[in-house]
Chain A
Amino acid sequence: MIIELNKFGTTLTSRQDGKEAYNAFLSTLQTVSNNEEIEIDFEGVITFTPSWADEFITPILDTYSSRVKLLHTDNPSVEATLRLLAKIK
């Protein structure tokens, strides 16, 4: 499964929006089959923050951990956010 984050917007900043995105996507996420890889694609995202990530990325990483692959993470706010999330875990 590929999750294209730009389908949720390109300025992904608030905890509230992250939570709403996760809740809306949960039913799709639950269709992932056993052992299927989940690719989270950051292509097209302009601004990304730990608050949004903590509501959307963290629960996916907690549930699927090693099956999650992150793509196109070269945006500076994506890089900085992922670095902070790695420290929190």
Chain B
Amino acid sequence: MHRFKNLNMNSSYLTINEAAKLLGVSIDTLRRWDENGKLKAVRQQKDGYRFYSKEMIELYLKDIFAVAKKWVVSSPPVLPESECYCPDSLVFKTRLNRLEHDLSKIDEVKNIFPLITAIVGEIGNNSYDHNLGNWPDIRGTFFAYDINKKQIALADRGQGILKTLRKVRPELKNDEEALEVAFTEIVSSRAPEARGNGLKFVRQVISDNNLFSIEFYSGSAKLFICHGSEDLNIKKSDITFPGCISLIKF
């Protein structure tokens, strides 16, 4: 394990005491998180001292959904940080492949990780399919995930569900109605605009598997589907913006 030689001398690693202080938890909690896989430590030798990479602790401290929310409402618009920014669908596809690979290494999701990649793929690709050539300001999506916290955040500053759905359902009154239609009604691919049924798929996967949940915001509405449930729980949200943002927990 040459990589971890002299960890305590290496400034990119922290001791368990330093990591506990930064995270605001006890050393016992960190030991428990290491044992149950929530936040794995690295060791110089078997049963040796626990060390934590600074990068991992920084990622753990970062709330990716809060960063995504801040980005969609930012005015004037700014580009997301490069590690979260997918300016086009090719970059998104590459990062989706990386997510698939990272998830495949986690024992507890090894049988169902393709479902996670599939729902992330549907939400992300929807952003490109419905906004190509029509991005109001910043082109592309925000896409970040935190394997330790089991969270995935996606966001776009596109036209939003209401505006894109009104092309096939002009009678829709508001963002709440648009979210309900998007997640429940099958829109035939023979409709005037070729549309996916990706959000219905997301709902089906979440209700059929007691393992995932989603928060989804668009316009001034938000929705929450709890694992194993079909209920949409649509409400007015605390933010208003033109695009879409979602948080998937697994």
Q: Of B97, B117, B198, B200, which contacts A77 at CB under 8 A?
A: B117
Closest residue to B196 on the A side, CB-wise?
A: A51
Number of residues of chain B lying within 8 A (CB) of chain A: 29
Whether A73 sits at the interface, judged by CB under 8 Å, is no
Whether B164 sits at the interface, judged by CB under 8 Å, is no
B186/A87 in contact, CB under 8 A: yes
B112/A83 in contact, CB under 8 A: no
A11-B197 in contact given A51-B125, A76-B112 (Cβ < 8 Å) = no
Give every chain B residue within 8 A of A87 (Cβ-Cβ). Answer: 186
B114/A50 in contact, CB under 8 A: no
Whether B204 sits at the interface, judged by CB under 8 Å, is yes
Give every chain B residue within 8 A of A88 (Cβ-Cβ). Answer: 186, 188-189, 197
Interface residue SS majority, chain B? helix
Number of residues of chain A lying within 8 A (CB) of chain B: 24
Q: Mark B80-119, 1 if CB is under 8 A from A, else 0.
A: 0000000001000100110010001000000110110110
A80/B117 in contact, CB under 8 A: no
A50→B198 CA distance, assembly (Å): 7
Whether B183 sits at the interface, judged by CB under 8 Å, is no
Whether A34 sits at the interface, judged by CB under 8 Å, is no
Closest residue to A59 on the B side, CB-wise?
A: B189
Give every chain B residue within 8 A of A77 (Cβ-Cβ). Answer: 114-115, 117-118
Whether B121 sits at the interface, judged by CB under 8 Å, is yes
Closest residue to B93 on the A side, CB-wise?
A: A14
Whether A23 sits at the interface, judged by CB under 8 Å, is no
A48/B129 in contact, CB under 8 A: no
Give every chain B residue within 8 A of A83 (Cβ-Cβ). Answer: 204
Interface residue SS majority, chain A? helix
Q: Mark A40-67, 1 if CB is under 8 A from B, else 0.
A: 0000001111110010001000000000
Closest residue to B104 on the A side, CB-wise?
A: A46
A78→B114 CA distance, assembly (Å): 9
Q: Of A11, A51, A81, which contacts B97 at CB under 8 A?
A: A11
Closest residue to B188 on the A side, CB-wise?
A: A88
A82 to chain B, nearest CB (A): 11
With contacts A77-B114, A88-B197 known, what are 12 further pairs, Cβ within 8 A?
A14-B121, A46-B114, A48-B114, A48-B118, A49-B198, A51-B125, A51-B129, A77-B117, A80-B115, A80-B201, A81-B118, A87-B186
Chain A residues close to B by CB (< 8 Å): 11, 13-17, 46-51, 54, 58, 75-78, 80-81, 83-84, 87-88
25 A-B residue pairs with CB within 8 Å:
A11-B93, A14-B128, A14-B129, A15-B125, A16-B89, A16-B129, A17-B93, A47-B96, A47-B117, A47-B121, A49-B201, A51-B121, A51-B122, A51-B198, A76-B111, A76-B114, A77-B117, A78-B114, A80-B118, A80-B204, A80-B205, A80-B208, A81-B118, A84-B197, A88-B188
Chain B residues close to A by CB (< 8 Å): 89, 93, 96-97, 100, 104, 111-112, 114-115, 117-118, 121-122, 125, 128-129, 186, 188-189, 194, 196-198, 200-201, 204-205, 208
